[in-house]
Amino acid sequence: MIMNSIDRILEQLQDINWHSLDEIKKVIPMPAHKLNEVLCFLQKQALIDKKNEELRITCTGLKFLQLKY
């Protein structure tokens, strides 16, 4: 389930625009504390940037998605 959530988050952010945390919460059905853990993991791996309550994918995150497909 976590890997599926990671994929869905990155896919949601792949347009390179900033997205609100609320947008992500609507797409990813998981408890807020779990979602925060996943987002922290993605940020530590440099797959996303997080600024205040907004997120966007990084170049590394985009490369990860390309490798996946």
Residue 67 has pLDDT above 90, yes or no: no
What was the pLDDT predicted at 69?
66
Q: Supply the CATH number for residue 57's domain.
A: 1.10.10.10
* pLDDT tens per residue, range 2-61: 778 899 999 999 999 999 999 999 988 889 999 999 999 999 999 999 999 999 999 999
The range of the structural domain enclosing residue 13 comes to 2-68
pLDDT at 1: 64
Q: What is residue 67's three-state secondary structure?
A: helix
Number of domains into which the chain is organized: 1
CA 24 to chain centre: 8
Q: 47, 9 in Cβ contact below 8 A?
A: no
* pLDDT at 4 (0 to 100): 85
Sorted by sequence, the CB contacts under 8 Å of residue 27 that are 6+ apart come out as 8, 9, 12
For 24-50, give the DSSP string.
HHHHS-S-HHHHHHHHHHHHHTTSEEE
